[in-house]
Amino acid sequence: MDGEVLVQAAKNVNYLQWCCGIDQSEHVIESAQQKVSEAGVSRKVRFVKGDVLNEECLLKVKKQMNIMGFKPAQLVSSMLFILHDLERPAAEKLLLNHKKYFGNTPLIIAEVFSIPLSVLCAYPNYRPASFQFIHEISGQHLFTKREFHGFLIRCGYRILQEQIHSSIPGLKAGEHLDTIATYVVMPSKIS
Ligand SMILES: C[S@@+](CC[C@H](N)C(=O)[O-])C[C@H]1O[C@@H](n2cnc3c(N)ncnc32)[C@H](O)[C@@H]1O
């Protein structure tokens, strides 16, 4: 969380009354607080420092939400380019805990997808080759798009909307492989 999304949301989405940014790094929180303050939107933004894999951290956010008088139906959550940062079992735990604590809150997820090496080799000058290299050397494992959809379904979510931001040509004529997308998802079973 670098604070930019919070600034844009707090400034530009009029009906949004309150935003909460979560990060485990003190340094990241401080720098995001600075951005939010410089943008003049501190009144609308709170921060929680903690590990999202720790249920205590989600409980802290939920408590903040209760103090402000919000109900789950008035909330939207986001996980932007974070799920691939986590080991798969941890990413699964996060999605399951999100359902547990925030129920039917719509969840916005942005992800960057893994592309087969044969395609990256065919188009070395496209950015996905460098994205993938950077993620691999830092020990993060990108999902393929197909894996990601399967992962969401296994965690009990359904996709309401998909917005593709960029694609790379495939090896077959007319084929396109999506590299970055944003989803709006909800739990499959309404509780
Ligand atoms: C790839 S960035 C995510 C991008 C971010 N969504 C944004 O809008 O800037 C990774 C960030 O997630 C934080 N992070 C990684 N694992 C975390 C965890 N388990 N709990 C909380 N924050 C975490 C890191 O400290 C880092 O600031």
Spell out the long-range contacts of 151-154 with Cβ–Cβ below 8 A and sequence spacing 24 or more: 151/88, 151/91, 151/92, 152/95, 152/109, 152/183, 152/185, 153/188, 154/92
Eight-state DSSP code of residue 74: G
Q: Vertex 96, ends 93 and 101: CA angle to 5°? A: 115
- Residue reference for tokens 């798009």: 145
Q: Is the pLDDT of residue 190 over 70?
A: no
pLDDT tens-digit series, residues 152-163: 999 999 999 999
> Which SS3 state, helix, strand or coil, does residue 25 take?
coil
| Residue having the nearest C-alpha atom to atom 18 of ligand 1 | 51
> Which SS3 state, helix, strand or coil, does residue 126 take?
coil
What pLDDT sits at residue 120?
94
Residue among 70, 77, 85, 72 at smallest CA distance from 24:
85
Distance, CA 23 to ligand 1 centroid (Å)?
Answer: 6
Ligand 1 pocket check: which of 1, 20, 60 to mutate, most ligand atoms within 8 Å of Cβ? 1
Banded pLDDT at 14 (limits 50, 70, 90)? confident
pLDDT cut 70: percent of the chain above it? 99
The pocket around ligand 1, CB under 6 angstroms, is made up of 1-2, 5, 22-25, 28, 51-53, 80-82, 85
Distance, CA 136 to ligand 1 centroid (Å)?
Answer: 17
What is the set of domains in the chain, with CATH numbers?
1-50 (no CATH), 72-187 (3.40.50.150)
pLDDT tens-digit series, residues 115-155: 999 999 999 889 889 889 999 999 998 999 999 999 999 99
- Residue reference for tokens 């109900």: 71
Which ligand 1 atom is the nearest neighbour of the CA of 94? Answer: 19
Distance, CA 161 to ligand 1 centroid (Å)?
Answer: 23
Cβ(176)–Cβ(167) under 8 Å? yes
Distance, CA 85 to ligand 1 centroid (Å)?
Answer: 8
> Which SS3 state, helix, strand or coil, does residue 176 take?
strand
Q: Give the predicted TM-score (pTM) of the model.
A: 0.91
Chain-centroid distance of CA 119 in Å reads 26
Q: Is the pLDDT of residue 191 over 70?
A: no
pLDDT tens-digit series, residues 59-93: 999 888 888 888 777 888 999 999 999 999 999 99
Cβ(31)–Cβ(2) under 8 Å? yes
